[in-house]
Amino acid sequence: MAYDVAVLIGSLRKESLTRQLVLALQKIAPPGLKLRIVEIGDLPHFNADHEASPPPEVTAFKQSIEKADAVLFATPEYNRSVPGVLKNAIDVGSRPYGKSVWNGKPAAVISISQGVLSGFGANHHLRQSLVFLNMPTLQQPEAYIAQVQTLLDGKGGFVKPETKAFLESILKAFEAWIGKVKG
């Protein structure tokens, strides 16, 4: 049986490099992981007024996360932090207070950038939220992917075998982490 992993992509652009990376990850995931993209672009902006009667998009999103065994966050870095759309999805899923869909879900973070800093700021800002949300997050190996545009082949794969091997090691470690957290 494979773990159902909800994957949130922090970029909405159809051909985003983050999405391309996730699609490539789906191809190399170990048999024990089913990486399932959960779209976040149609979520309304978080509004506490919606808590009593959430819009259908919010209900569907929360149900999708609730059924997942774990969550993989794949994000670019915007202004040294996470994109607003990803933060919004986190906020939407965390409310109402005491009914967070994130609570106790094993998590992992992969950050990317086209530059050399590899999304370090986004990765660590996101981890701050995950601590508050009580999401046990894979600590090692860390996944900071710099100059991602040079690593993807445009056909759903990787330019260099060592990039593929590194990302396979991340996914295998995440699979083991999920097993450890879930007992």
Domain positions in the chain: 3-182
Q: What is the pLDDT of residue 92?
A: 97
- Token pair listed for 71: 């969550």
Instruction: Name residue, tokens 């202004």.
Output: 79
Give residue 116's pLDDT band: very low, low, confident or very high (50, 70, 90). Answer: confident
Buried (b) or exposed (e) across 129-152, using 16+ Cβ within 10 A?
Answer: bbeebebbbbeeeebbbbebeebb
pLDDT tens, 58-99?
999 999 999 999 999 999 999 999 999 999 999 999 999 999
pTM across the whole model = 0.97
| CATH entry 3.30.70.1520 includes domain 3-182 | no
Q: What is the mean pLDDT of residues 140-160?
A: 95
Q: What is the mean pLDDT of residues 149-178?
A: 96
pLDDT tens, 100-111?
999 999 999 999
Rounded-to-integer distance, Cα 103 and Cα 156, Å: 33
Rounded-to-integer distance, Cα 137 and Cα 135, Å: 6
Q: What is the mean pLDDT of residues 148-154?
A: 94
User: Based on C-alpha coordinates, what's the Rg of the chain?
Assistant: 16
8-state DSSP, 149: G
